Amino acid sequence: MRVVGGSLKGRRLASIKGAPIRPTSDKVREAIFNILPREFPFRRVLDLFAGTGAMGIEAMSRGGDAVTFVDADAGSVNVIRKNLGACGIKEGARVLKGDALRELNALSRWGEEFDLIFVDPPYNTALFEESLNEIGRLGLLRAEGALVAETSKRAPWKAEVPGLVLYDERRYGDTLVYFFKATSKN
């Protein structure tokens, strides 16, 4: 696994051997960033269910100023920190170990909003829908922002999310990728 674009292109990223995580493949990660507009502002990014941190690191490589990585697994948190160090990222990264839904509420209490949010929970769990609903309810995505969510093709998703509008959907092998934008805030 490696960074596929930007200033850190080609840097190798560690993974967790034998862990139940499934990092987004280089191919899918590259496709996602090719779909997002080139002039897209990656200033503030949230990598939820971060795993190895590959999505957030990719965003930083492409100009992101600040990325918040959230994962409940101690092994994942250690790998994220290792990958940040291997890429020479010393500033702009915050790693939170904790339950994703609780951390979303904490981020909201702290007044956080994000330009780009990645959501990639474990497949075949209720966390996909729960996290999207919570992000929409809490208004964590800025009006001009984008949310990218991954799930299994075996669990396609068609429900509406308060505060979010689906604008694109792609399939890559076993992975479905959904692209959302925020609805207008009053």
pLDDT tier at 185 (50, 70, 90 boundaries)?
Answer: low
Report helix, strand or coil for 24.
Answer: coil
181: amino acid identity, one letter: K
pLDDT tier at 22 (50, 70, 90 boundaries)?
Answer: low
- Of the chain, the percentage scoring pLDDT greater than 90 comes to 57
Q: Which residue has the tokens 């940040």?
A: 84
> What's the rounded mean pLDDT across residues 174-182?
90
Say yes or no to pLDDT of 88 above 90. yes
How much is the pLDDT for 186?
A: 41
Q: Which residue has the tokens 């779909």?
A: 35
**Cβ–Cβ under 8 Å, residues 115 and 42:** yes
162: amino acid identity, one letter: P
> What's the rounded mean pLDDT across residues 120-137?
88
Query: What does R_g of the chain's alpha carbons equal in angstroms?
Result: 15
> What's the rounded mean pLDDT across residues 23-38?
82
* Predicted TM-score (pTM) of this structure: 0.91
Q: Which residue has the tokens 């949230």?
A: 46
> What's the rounded mean pLDDT across residues 88-116?
96
pLDDT tier at 34 (50, 70, 90 boundaries)?
Answer: confident
Domain spans of the chain?
Answer: 6-15+25-182
DSSP track, 122-166:
PTTSTHHHHHHHHHHHHT-EEEEEEEEEEEETTS-----BTTEEE
How much is the pLDDT for 28?
A: 85
How much is the pLDDT for 149?
A: 93
> What's the rounded mean pLDDT across residues 65-70?
96
> What's the rounded mean pLDDT across residues 142-146?
89
* CA distance linking residue 169 with residue 147, whole number of Å: 12
Q: Name the DSSP class of 1.
A: -
Considering the four listed CATH numbers 1.10.760.10, 2.80.10.50, 3.40.50.150, 3.60.15.10, the one that applies to the domain covering 6-15+25-182 is 3.40.50.150
User: Pairing relation of β-strands 141-152 and 66-71?
Assistant: unpaired
